[in-house]
Amino acid sequence: MSLYLCLFIDSIPRYGVAMSQVSFDFQGMSVVVTGGARGIGAGIGAVFAAAGAEVTVWDRDPAAFTGTWHPALVVSADVTDEASLAAAMTQTLRTVGAVDVLVSSAGITGPVGPLWECGADDWRRVVDIDLTGAFLAAKTVVPHLRERGSGRIITIASIAGKEATASLSAYTAAKHGVVGMTKALARELVRDGVTVNAVAPVMVETELFSQLTDDFIERTRALIPMGRFLTVDEVAATVAWIASDLCGFTTGQVFDLSGGRADY
C-alpha cells in the first residue's frame, strides 16, 4: 500500500482539500466499502478507485449508486444481516480475488429529538445499522485478513463517538460503541498484521441532511470552530492515508476530523 501526497501550497483552496492536489497509489489493492453507494462511502470509494484500487461496494440499495467512478463490483448487502454479508464476501472474493481494506461506512443518523421521544424501534434500527453493522462487517472480513497476514479496517465513527450530541441519543450511543469496538478489535489483531482505526468526523454535508431539521443543522455548524462543515473529500483523503503504508504503525486510534471541536 503506497501513498504519494502532493500539495501545491500556492493553490490550496481556502476551505478543504482539492482531491486533484492529492495523489494516492493503491494499484493492485482490493477495497470494500460498506454503504458505498452514496454519500461519504461513495466519496471514499471514488478516491480509492482513482488511485488504482479495485473497489467493491456493499450496500443495501446498490441501485442507489451515485458515483461517477466505476467500482469493480456493486453487491447487495445488508450490514445487519450476517448471512447477507457472508454472501457478499463470497461474491467479492470470486470476482476480485482478495480483500485488503475494509471501510465500514454504512450508517444512518436516525431521529432528531430528546431520548424520551425516541421510539424503541428507531433506537434499535440506528444501533443495528451503525454499530452492529460495523461489527458484522468486521467479523465477515477479519478471518480473510488474518489468513493473509495483512490488511486495514477503518470504521467511520463520528464526533458523536467522542462526545455527547444532544437530540441524537441513539446515534451517539451507537458511535461510542463503534469507537470502543474499533479499539478492542485493534488490540485483538495487533500481532496479525491488521490495523484497525476509526475516523471521527463532524457533520458532512450529504443527502443525510434531509433527515435533519434546519435548526439542528445550524446549531451543529455553530459548534465547529472552523465555522464550516467537513467535506467528503477531506474524509476520503484521511481514510486513504490510514489505509496506506505510511500509517502502518498506528492502530486502535480515532482520527479527529472535527474542525477544532474536539481537541483530544
Which amino acids are annotated catalytic? 171
Question: C-alpha dihedral over 95, 96, 99, 104, to 10 degrees?
Answer: -70
Residue 235: what are its φ and ψ, rounded to 5°? -65, -45
First and final CA of the chain: distance in angstroms? 28
* CA gap 93, 89 in Å, rounded: 6
Q: How many CB atoms lie within 10 A of CB 74?
A: 20
Decide the pairing of beta strands 2-4 and 23-25: antiparallel
CA angle 18, 39, 244 (to 5 degrees): 55
Which positions ≥6 away from 188 have C-beta within 8 Å? none
DSSP 38: S
Whether the Cβ atoms of residue 237 and residue 47 lie closer than 8 Å to each other: yes
The C-alpha cell at 38 is: 452514496
* CA gap 172, 178 in Å, rounded: 10
Q: Residues for the chain: how many in total?
A: 264
